[in-house]
Chains A and B, each alone.
Chain A
Amino acid sequence: MKIAQKSIQFLTIVVIALFSISAYAVAADKNQDSQPNGGQVNTKKEVEEYILHHIKDSHDFSLFSYTNDAGERKHLGFPLPVILWSSEGLVTFMSSEFHHNDDGHVIVEKEGLKFAKIHSKIYELESDAATVVFDDTHHATNAHKVLDFSITKSAFGLLLIGLLMLLWFSKLARQYKTRKVPTGFGRILEPLVLYVRDEIARPNIGEQHYRRFTGYLLTVFFFIWILNLAGLTPLGFNVTGQLAVTACLAIFTLVIYTVSGTKGYWMHMIWMPGVPVLIRPVLAIIELAGALVIKPFSLLVRLFANISAGHIVVMSLIAIMFTLKESLGVVGATGLSLLLSFFITLIEVLVAFLQAYIFTMLSALFIGMAVDDHEHH
């Protein structure tokens, strides 16, 4: 019964999503002139730009674009809300008002303010400007960035995966009320939970303290892993490849191990015992820099770089289809592209797990170092 209910819920969501997609596609039709080349990707430069554009965050959720028989460019996807903190306060509108334009040509006027989107960033134009003026290095001269709290594609992905996680794991939690061993999908989730608890949290933090931090580590592990995997699907999320998201995760870990650090941990950091007094301040600087800057920085950059690099490599290999079309022929280029991107995607599936594991593992290790009693020294 329950399963039937769930599938009905799911179907409803899919139907609503499809409706909004088709509505959006129709709406997009009328504004073809806003995109000069129709957004097609053929040359090396365009491929490069497309890839760089993809790994950035986006204000609307587009699955793919195509040109129909009448020569019109169509985009399949749906718009997401744009929430801005401008010079006049909060401004909200749907991202469809930019009509997929990303070079500042479409100006959206809201509450007397003008906004333009340039390379996935939203700029507020100065009050007297009518269009965005660029200098030689392609920087806007008469517009400035605004604080952008939009539900972007990454924020949307984050929400979606967060809800999915809540659904899956609260269902697993409810199962334990009636039975000792879960059934169905819970049977897959349970060993993963046990894995994180027994292989990551327990050995790194220690038997005494691990319980307090297991919840955080489990959330982070599954969050990163599922989003990494979602990034490999045609949905094209690149949430864990966003610096803002990885920075957020790294700062959480930093806050946790800084707040829960024991007296011994701080003593060893600030005034290292067993070392000549003159060296102690030097060591303190190194240790403090290590704990407060290097550790979180390594966490955030590792995850960001690995996932972004993965996306770039996979997309570059797919782009072989266009870039080597002339030298290898259509079949050759497509075949080579398929073969290489297939294998690199397999590796990316492994990397998706590995990066989630490494992030969680290092977080656990740092927390473990902070809560350790240091009595054995």
Chain B
Amino acid sequence: METLLNDFSPGLFVVSTILLLALIALMIKFAWKPILNSLEERESGINNALEAADNARKEMQNLQSDNEQLVKEAREERDAMLKEAREIKEKMISEAKEEAKGVATTLIENAQASIEQEKQAALAEIKKSVADLSIGIAESVIKRELASKEDQLQLVEGILKEVTLN
């Protein structure tokens, strides 16, 4: 202990205290502060970059799922459109059919009506002809006037024959 105390130099203690205090102050000002600040800056930069990369990856994933969603929706829309088109087509066909049927019916009805009309006209004409004929017969009968009873009969029969033939 005595040699230890003897070895202790108060002068060196003072000198080293001054030098070390200066060294610590200078090192902190010119070395450690800038170094530690730069290191921290770099570390936070690396962390930020990693986070940004992570976020970008997540965004990419989101985009991908969005794309899938879009594709799915588009497909559904297409399907719906196709279905609608098919329905429209069927509807149009059936409508056309209905319309055609209606047109046909009216045509037939018209035809029937005109046929009836023609028939009536024909019947009227026949009646007129019969009347004319009857008049004619009567005329001839009157012309021939009782030439013979037989002739009269013959004539009537003849006229009748003509009529029935008509």
Q: Which positions in A face B, CB cutoff 8 Å?
A: 56-57, 85, 121, 147-152, 154-155, 158-159, 162, 165-166, 169-170, 172-174, 176-177, 180, 190, 193-194, 197, 211, 214-216, 218-219, 223, 242-245, 247-249, 251-252
Contact = CB atoms under 8 A, between A and B. Distances in A.
A244 B10 contact: yes
A170 to B, nearest CB: 4
13 contacts: A56-B7, A57-B12, A85-B11, A148-B11, A152-B12, A155-B19, A158-B15, A162-B19, A169-B35, A194-B39, A215-B27, A242-B9, A245-B12
B74 interface: no
Query: Which bucket holds chain B's interface residue count?
Result: 20 to 34
B27 A252 contact: no
Nearest to A173: B34
A158 B16 contact: yes
B32 to A, nearest CB: 4
B46 to A, nearest CB: 9
Given A155-B19, A158-B20, A249-B20, A218 B12 contact: no
A154 B16 contact: yes
B86 interface: no
- Main SS of the interface on chain B? helix
Interface in B1-25: 4, 7-17, 19-20, 22-24
B33 A252 contact: no
Nearest to A169: B31
B36 interface: yes
Contacts of B52: none
B6 to A, nearest CB: 8
A244 B5 CA distance: 10
B30 A242 contact: no
B73 to A, nearest CB: 46
Contacts of B11: 85, 147-150, 244
B55 interface: no
Contacts of A170: 30-31
A155 B31 contact: no
A192 to B, nearest CB: 11
Contact of B13 (A165, A190, A244): A244
B30 A166 contact: yes
A215 B27 CA distance: 8
A102 to B, nearest CB: 15
A202 B4 CA distance: 35
Contacts of A162: 19-20, 22-23
B20 A248 contact: yes
Contacts of B22: 162
A168 to B, nearest CB: 8
B115 interface: no
A173 B31 CA distance: 6
Contact of B9 (A148, A151, A193, A216): A148
A109 B118 CA distance: 170
Contacts of A190: 35, 39
B9 A57 contact: yes
Nearest to A163: B23
Contacts of A56: 7
A248 B13 contact: yes
Contacts of A218: 27, 32
Nearest to A193: B35
A172 B35 contact: yes
A90 to B, nearest CB: 12
The 9 closest A-B pairs by CB, nearest first: A169-B31, A176-B38, A148-B11, A173-B34, A215-B28, A244-B13, A244-B12, A215-B32, A162-B23
